């Protein structure tokens, strides 16, 4: 037993020493590649440790992560010829950050061309900002002061004669004579696949959307009509099967081609920007509300009849062209039912980059095309289909309820960006409860919509759907009182974006004194804890109330920090300790707020310039605890910076975390 305890202690000590090391996974080198007498190329080469990556230079500045960026010093000696160029990055949707991210791993070289206006030697100076991450989390952003020595030109270019093209977006061929400095590496993800999980999710969602579209009154009645056409036109069964396959492929080509046109015209990046733009989200909210009202039967949205007539005439030509235009006619005729579904899918799939809309429309059109092709190839199966009737309109009305619920998600997106408080969590949940409760009552026959047929008996499937809808309503109700609602996580606003702490009737977080201490900020702390964001202020309060300090080194872009807060801190036993027994100081090492100029300095510890609040806390962590990874949790007394019981990091084991917390409190009390 003693041997086992000794081995355990040694392993813990080894783990502690390994976790305390300073991580520096990216190594940068800088050089100049002379292209001609009057043109040079500045090369910035990063070599990253295995498993680490930096983010693309061309990344949305509003992203949760910090893109690689460069600020150049101006000079009369040269002019930039285009923007910074980079190799093609890995592109995938990150579910943790809920956004499309592009990054580089392995070795990557950034390039910046300049045109030389001076005959004398000169220097090009700049500041490089980057952030390194791996699957477990991110390090604080880092800054490097760059300096390139460039020789003057024998025949320098005059500025007046220049017509510089700033539209360079393609990565040029490697023109460096030095392979070690001019090499460009083809970047791939470790598995060779980009965002497989998210793209699979898009495909499944889109396939289900296609199945739902099949059951609408615009599409379902077209199945026997189409089968009848192929039965009459096909002289042999083989020809019938061949025509059915061509028809199905035509449907897929049409809808996937639509997705390609959308991304080709607007671009995948633009589509992703649309999905996070508050004005676009409001416009889409209004559009979905209009579509929902249309599904309810107030009016019908149709394309011009002249379009349908022309494609219908073209389908009479026969052959492959005729079959293709038959598929085109189906797409136009069914637009009033499929349009809202397609619009929603394209908007949601935009987060998947170029592949997202293409895979989304492929899944939708595959589900739509399969029944047409199969029934056309095997017309005898038609006998197993239910007859058209009022149930088709019921499907359309149910889709209207679903569209209306999704609409408020887009309104919530805009509200969260603006922090306007128009749709807090309780109101969002209340709206969903109302929508799905009405859908339940509709399915049970309590009321009818304009185009519904009277129902004497409720079909079994309709009853099962009503039961599911009612159960979902019951599940949503506790959310009004602060329940997490993990089943729909990501749809309602986060728990802190609410009218009342902990939902209606919740008391929120209080200290022992029942008041918010000066300097604490529960509005921006997990579970509305009275945490501090400044070390000196928090330490002063800890001395005042004679409690230990729990330092929480965290980051806005720290995935594992959020996991700890949502999965471990949410435990009532953990919350009790954090609320009553410690003073919590949360220091965000990637906080982008700039320090005043007179407070910026070069760190004697790291040799790097401290420019932001996040830089300050990152240096603080390295200086006192020899670590720069997050999350890191440390118990402190009031007299020195020595941890009371070591430190811990990401560990979803709640029992271990509680033991660690209790040990820290106990050691403080024994001091």
Answer whether residue 352 shows pLDDT above 50: no
Q: What is the average pLDDT across 521-535?
A: 85
Considering just the CA atoms, what is the radius of gyration of the chain in Å? 31
pTM for the model stands at: 0.45
CB 78 within 8 A of CB 117: yes
CA distance 536 to 519: 10
CA distance 495 to 575: 15
Least confident range of 253-262, 541-550, 568-577 = 253-262
Q: In the chain, what are the domains?
A: 25-182 (2.60.40.1250), 196-423 (no CATH), 522-669 (3.40.30.10)
Q: Give the per-residue pLDDT at 301.
A: 57
CB 644 within 8 A of CB 548: yes
CA distance 481 to 504: 5
Confidence of residue 335 (pLDDT cuts 50, 70, 90): low
CA distance 160 to 165: 14
Q: Give the per-residue pLDDT at 306.
A: 54
Higher pLDDT, 225 or 214: 214
Q: What is the DSSP string of 398-419?
A: HHHHHHHHHHHHHHHHHHHHHT
pLDDT digits (tens, 9 = 90+) for 219-232: 655 666 566 666 55
Answer whether residue 582 shows pLDDT above 90: yes
Confidence of residue 476 (pLDDT cuts 50, 70, 90): very high
Q: Assign 3-class secondary structure to 286-354.
A: HHHHHHHHHHHCCCCCCCCHHHHHHHHHHHHHCHHHHHHHHHHHHHHHCHHHHHHHHHHHHHHHHHHCC
Q: What is the average pLDDT across 155-184?
A: 45
pLDDT digits (tens, 9 = 90+) for 623-639: 888 887 788 999 999 98
pLDDT digits (tens, 9 = 90+) for 111-147: 998 888 888 899 999 988 888 888 767 787 888 889 9
- CA angle 112/118/124 to nearest 5° reads 40
Cis-peptide, bond into residue 452, ω within 30° of zero: no
Closest to 353 measured CA to CA, from 171, 208, 202: 202
Burial class (CB in 10 A: 0-12, 13-18, 19+), 168: middle
pLDDT digits (tens, 9 = 90+) for 5-30: 444 443 343 344 334 456 778 889 99
CA distance 427 to 425: 6
Q: Give the per-residue pLDDT at 384.
A: 55
Answer whether residue 217 shows pLDDT above 70: no
Output the CA–CA distances (angstroms, integers) from residue 580 to 557, 652, 671, in the order listed: 28, 22, 19
Q: What is the DSSP string of 578-610?
A: HHHT-EEEEEETT--PBPPGGG-EE-TTTSSEE
Answer whether residue 593 shows pLDDT above 70: yes
Closest to 54 measured CA to CA, from 24, 33, 98: 24
Q: Give the per-residue pLDDT at 358.
A: 75
Total count of residues recorded for the chain: 671
Q: Give the per-residue pLDDT at 390.
A: 59
Q: Give the per-residue pLDDT at 631.
A: 85
CA distance 552 to 547: 15
Q: Give the per-residue pLDDT at 175.
A: 37
Closest to 465 measured CA to CA, from 547, 401, 541: 401
Q: Which helix (H) or strand (E) holds 385?
A: none
């Amino acid at each position: 037993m003693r041997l086992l305890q000794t081995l355990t202690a040694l392993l813990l000590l080894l783990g502690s020493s390994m976790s305390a090391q300073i991580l520096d996974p990216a190594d940068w080198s800088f050089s100049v590649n002379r292209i001609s007498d009057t043109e040079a190329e500045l090369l910035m080469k990063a070599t990253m440790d295995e498993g680490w990556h930096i983010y693309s230079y061309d990344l949305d500045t509003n992203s949760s992560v910090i893109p690689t960026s460069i600020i150049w010093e101006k000079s009369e000696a040269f002019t930039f010829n285009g923007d910074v160029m980079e190799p093609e990055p890995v592109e995938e949707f990150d579910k943790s950050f809920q956004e499309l991210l592009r990054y580089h791993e392995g070795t990557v070289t950034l390039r910046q061309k300049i045109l030389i206006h001076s005959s004398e030697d000169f220097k090009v100076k700049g500041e490089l900002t980057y952030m390194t991450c791996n699957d477990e989390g991110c390090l604080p952003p880092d800054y490097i002061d760059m300096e390139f020595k460039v020789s003057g030109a024998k025949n320098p270019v005059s500025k007046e004669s220049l017509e510089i093209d700033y539209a360079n977006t393609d990565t040029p061929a490697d023109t460096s004579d030095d392979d070690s400095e001019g090499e460009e590496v083809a970047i791939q993800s470790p598995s060779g696949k980009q965002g497989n999980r998210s793209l699979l999710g898009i495909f499944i969602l889109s396939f289900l959307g296609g199945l739902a579209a099949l059951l609408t009154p615009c599409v379902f009645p077209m199945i026997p009509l189409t089968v009848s056409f192929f039965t009459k036109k096909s002289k042999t069964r083989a020809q019938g099967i061949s025509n059915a396959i061509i028809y199905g492929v035509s449907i897929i080509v049409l809808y996937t081609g639509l997705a390609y046109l959308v991304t080709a015209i607007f671009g995948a990046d633009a589509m992703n920007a649309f999905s996070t733009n508050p004005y676009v989200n409001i416009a889409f909210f209004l559009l979905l509300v209009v579509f929902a009202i249309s599904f309810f039967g107030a009016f019908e949205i149709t394309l011009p009849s002249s379009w349908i007539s022309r494609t219908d005439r073209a389908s009479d030509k026969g052959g492959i062209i005729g079959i293709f235009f038959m598929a085109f006619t189906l797409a136009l005729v069914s637009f009033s039912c499929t349009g809202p579904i397609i619009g929603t899918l394209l908007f949601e799939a935009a987060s998947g980059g170029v592949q997202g809309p293409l895979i989304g429309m492929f899944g939708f059109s595959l589900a739509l095309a399969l029944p047409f092709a199969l029934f056309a190839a095997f017309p005898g199966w038609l006998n197993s289909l239910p007859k058209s009737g009022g149930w088709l309109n019921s499907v359309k009305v149910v889709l209207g309820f679903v569209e209306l619920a999704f609409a408020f998600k887009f309104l919530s997106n805009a509200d969260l960006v603006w922090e306007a408080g128009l749709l807090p969590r309780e109101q969002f949940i209340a709206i969903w409860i109302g929508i799905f409760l009405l859908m339940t009552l509709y399915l049970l026959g309590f009321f009818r919509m304009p185009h519904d047929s009277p129902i004497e008996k409720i079909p079994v499937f309709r009853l099962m759907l009503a039961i599911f809808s009612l159960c979902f309503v019951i599940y949503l109700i506790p959310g009004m009182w602060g329940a997490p609602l993990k089943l729909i996580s990501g749809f309602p606003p986060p728990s802190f974006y609410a009218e009342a702490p902990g939902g209606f009737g919740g008391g929120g977080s209080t200290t022992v004194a029942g008041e918010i201490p000066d300097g604490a900020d529960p509005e921006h702390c997990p579970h509305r804890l009275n945490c501090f964001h400044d070390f000196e202020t928090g330490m002063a309060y800890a001395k005042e109330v004679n409690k230990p300090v729990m330092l929480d080194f965290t980051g806005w872009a720290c995935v594992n920090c959020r996991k700890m807060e949502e999965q471990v801190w949410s435990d009532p036993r953990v919350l009790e300790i954090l609320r009553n027994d410690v003073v919590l100081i949360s220091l965000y090492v990637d906080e982008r707020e700039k320090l005043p100029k007179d407070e910026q300095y070069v760190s004697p510890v790291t040799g790097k310039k401290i420019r932001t609040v996040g830089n300050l806390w990152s240096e603080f962590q390295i200086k006192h605890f020899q670590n720069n990874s997050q999350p890191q949790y440390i118990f402190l007394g009031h007299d020195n910076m020595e941890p009371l019981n070591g430190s811990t990091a990401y560990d979803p084991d709640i029992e271990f975390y509680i033991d660690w917390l209790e040990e820290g409190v106990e050691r403080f009390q024994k001091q």
